[in-house]
A and B are shown apart, each in its own frame.
Chain A
Amino acid sequence: QVQLVQSGAEVQKPGASMKVSCKASGYTLTGHYMHWVRQAPGQGLEWMGQINPKTGGVKYAQKFEGRVTMTRDTSINTAYMELSRLTSDDTAVYFCARVPHLSGSGSYFFDYWGQGTPVTVSS
């Protein structure tokens, strides 16, 4: 069965970087776009961007351009999201989420989600 298993909780200091991993099982990473979505405490969902795991092509939300980097390692079926220059506003749960296919622009609904990685940014 399809599973997305994310890395564990992180505590980071302002100005530092974070990197979250998302290991896919039950399917081949290169067959589906992967997206990243975050959720601040008590808040709604915020789309961060996407990666085409087959080509490595990325598209980021304008808000995160210059600060976010999405990559993948197809040999271990894992996607990564790195966010730099952290501030307290980046305190959130970060989710990876899969799209059902690899066609089109990548903008689609999400059929599977990771369990979420809580990240706390505090001095």
Chain B
Amino acid sequence: EIVLTQSPGTLSVSPGERATLSCRASQRVSSGYLAWYQQKPGQPPRLLIYGAVSRATGFPDRFSGSGSGTDFTLTISRLEPEDSAVYYCQQYGSSITFGQGTRLEIK
């Protein structure tokens, strides 16, 4: 099973700044089969990034994904208050596993 480790656990950033979230896999994630989700309280997760770099419908270009192999990054620039959420990575190259999440707070 591929274990995904997300860091940091919690990130507190000011509006207008940039947030960088990391997702590290215990084994290579084949074909960049990595997704990111945004989850706000009381809501289901919402697809944000798939294929490591492709942005899902409805998200602005302030959100971007990068990485390959075992190291992946979600970058959110020009942070806005509504970006406060928990962000999860998910690999789908070998069955399915999720990271434990990063809580992003906009202070």
Chain A residues in contact with chain B, CB under 8 A? Answer: 35, 37, 44-47, 61, 95, 97, 107-111, 113-116
A114 to B50, CA, bound (A): 19
A37 to B45, CA, bound (A): 10
Q: Are A47 and B99 in contact (CB under 8 A)?
A: no
Total A-B Cβ pairs within 8 A: 49
A114 to B96, CA, bound (A): 18
Q: Are B47 and A46 in contact (CB under 8 A)?
A: no
Q: Are B98 and A47 in contact (CB under 8 A)?
A: yes
For residues 23 through 75 of chain B, which have their beta carbon under 8 Å from a beta carbon of chain A? 33, 35, 37, 44-47, 50, 56
Chain B residues in contact with chain A, CB under 8 A? Answer: 33, 35, 37, 44-47, 50, 56, 88, 90, 92-101
A109 to B37, CA, bound (A): 10
A111 to B46, CA, bound (A): 8
Which residues of the other chain, A, contact B100 by a CB distance below 8 angstroms?
A: 44
Which residues of the other chain, A, contact B56 by a CB distance below 8 angstroms?
A: 111
Which residues of the other chain, A, contact B90 by a CB distance below 8 angstroms?
A: 45, 109-110
Which DSSP category, helix, strand, loop or mixed, fits chain B's interface? loop
> 14 more A-B contacts (CB under 8 A) besides A44-B88, A45-B98?
A37-B98, A44-B98, A45-B90, A46-B98, A47-B95, A107-B92, A109-B33, A109-B35, A109-B50, A109-B92, A110-B37, A111-B47, A111-B56, A114-B44
Which residues of the other chain, A, contact B93 by a CB distance below 8 angstroms?
A: 107
What's the least CB distance linking B58 to chain A, in Å? Answer: 11
- Nearest 6 A-B pairs (CB), nearest first? A113-B44, A109-B35, A45-B98, A47-B96, A109-B50, A107-B92
A108 to B93, CA, bound (A): 8
Q: Are A115 and B92 in contact (CB under 8 A)?
A: no
Q: Are B45 and A113 in contact (CB under 8 A)?
A: yes
Please tell me which one of the listed residues B44, B46, B88, B98 contacts residue A115 in the complex, with CB atoms under 8 A apart.
B44
